[in-house]
Amino acid sequence: MESVVSSSQMDAWSSMLSAMPIPAALVDINGRLLAVNRWLDGKPGEQLLLPSDDPTSTMRFGVNDSRWRVRPVGQSETILLATGEREDAGDHLLRKFFSSNDALFVVYDQDGRVIESNTAWERLLGYSGDEVFGLDSWTLLPPDDVATRQAVEAELREHGRSDPTLLMRTSSGDYRLVQWNLHFDFSVGRCFGIGRDITEEEKQAAELERRAYTDELTGLANRTKLGERLDALVANGSAPALLYCDLDHFKVVNDSLGHTVGDLLLAGIAQRFTEALSPFDDVTIARFGGDEFVILIDDAEPAIALDTAKILLQALREPIDVAGRDLHAAMSVGIATCDGGSGAHELINHADTAVYEAKRLGRGQPVLFDAELQERAERRFHVEDGLRQAIRNDGIQAVFHPIVEIHTRKIVGAEALVRWTNEEGETMNPAEFLDVAEEASLGREIGAVVVEQALDFASAATSTFPDFWISVNTTQAELLTDGFAQRLTAKAESVGLPPSQVIIEIVESAVISTDLALPVLELLQQQGFRIALDDFGTGFSSLAHLRDLPIDIVKVGRSFVSTLHEDPIAYALTESLIDLAESLGLTIVMEGIETAEEEHAVTQIGGSLAQGYRYHKPMSGESLLDLWADETLQSAA
CA–chain centroid gap for 519, Å, is: 32
Q: What is the pTM of this model?
A: 0.53
Output the 3-class SS for 509-535. Answer: HHHHCCCCHHHHHHHHHHCCCEEEEEE
Each residue's pLDDT tens digit, 449-505: 999 999 999 999 888 888 899 999 988 878 888 888 999 999 999 999 999 999 999
Per-residue confidence (pLDDT) for residue 502, from 0 to 100: 95
Q: Can you tell me the distance from the alpha carbon of 520 to that of 356, in angstroms, rounded to the nearest whole number? A: 30
Residue 54 CB partners (closer than 8 Å, separation 6+): none
CA–chain centroid gap for 252, Å, is: 19
The C-alpha torsion from 504 through 507 and 512 to 513, rounded to 10°, is -110
Per-residue confidence (pLDDT) for residue 394, from 0 to 100: 83
| Contact (Cβ atoms closer than 8 angstroms) between residue 157 and residue 149 | no
β-bridge mates for residue 244, sequence order:
294, 334
Q: Can you tell me the distance from the alpha carbon of 327 to that of 313, in angstroms, rounded to the nearest whole number? A: 15
Each residue's pLDDT tens digit, 572-605: 888 888 888 888 889 999 999 999 999 999 998 8
The C-alpha torsion from 232 through 233 and 238 to 241, rounded to 10°, is -150
Cα dihedral 351, 354, 360, 365 sign: negative
| Contact (Cβ atoms closer than 8 angstroms) between residue 225 and residue 281 | no
| Distance between start and end Cα atoms, the chain | 137
Output the DSSP codes for 127-139.
--HHHHTT-BGGG
Q: Can you tell me the distance from the alpha carbon of 563 to that of 326, in angstroms, rounded to the nearest whole number? A: 39
Per-residue confidence (pLDDT) for residue 90, from 0 to 100: 44
Helices (H), 364-463: 371-392, 434-439, 443-462
For the chain, list residues with pLDDT below 50. Answer: 1-2, 86-94, 540
| Contact (Cβ atoms closer than 8 angstroms) between residue 298 and residue 308 | no
Q: CA of 355: how far to CAs of 243, 316, 331, 373, 485, in Å?
A: 9, 17, 9, 10, 34
| Contact (Cβ atoms closer than 8 angstroms) between residue 64 and residue 85 | no
Sheet holding 283-287, edge to edge: 283-287, 292-297, 241-247, 331-337, 366-368
| Contact (Cβ atoms closer than 8 angstroms) between residue 270 and residue 285 | yes
**Widest CA span in the chain:** 147
Closest to 333 (Cα-Cα) out of 297, 317, 357, 301: 357
| Contact (Cβ atoms closer than 8 angstroms) between residue 600 and residue 565 | yes
| Contact (Cβ atoms closer than 8 angstroms) between residue 600 and residue 561 | no
Per-residue confidence (pLDDT) for residue 499, from 0 to 100: 94
Per-residue confidence (pLDDT) for residue 530, from 0 to 100: 95
Q: Can you tell me the distance from the alpha carbon of 79 to that of 35, in angstroms, rounded to the nearest whole number? A: 11
Per-residue confidence (pLDDT) for residue 552, from 0 to 100: 92
User: What does residue 151 show for φ and ψ, rounded to 5 degrees?
Assistant: -65, -40
Per-residue confidence (pLDDT) for residue 129, from 0 to 100: 62
Per-residue confidence (pLDDT) for residue 93, from 0 to 100: 45
Which domains does the chain show, CATH number per domain?
A: 1-87 (3.30.450), 89-213 (3.30.450.20), 214-369 (3.30.70.270), 393-636 (3.20.20.450)
Per-residue confidence (pLDDT) for residue 335, from 0 to 100: 93
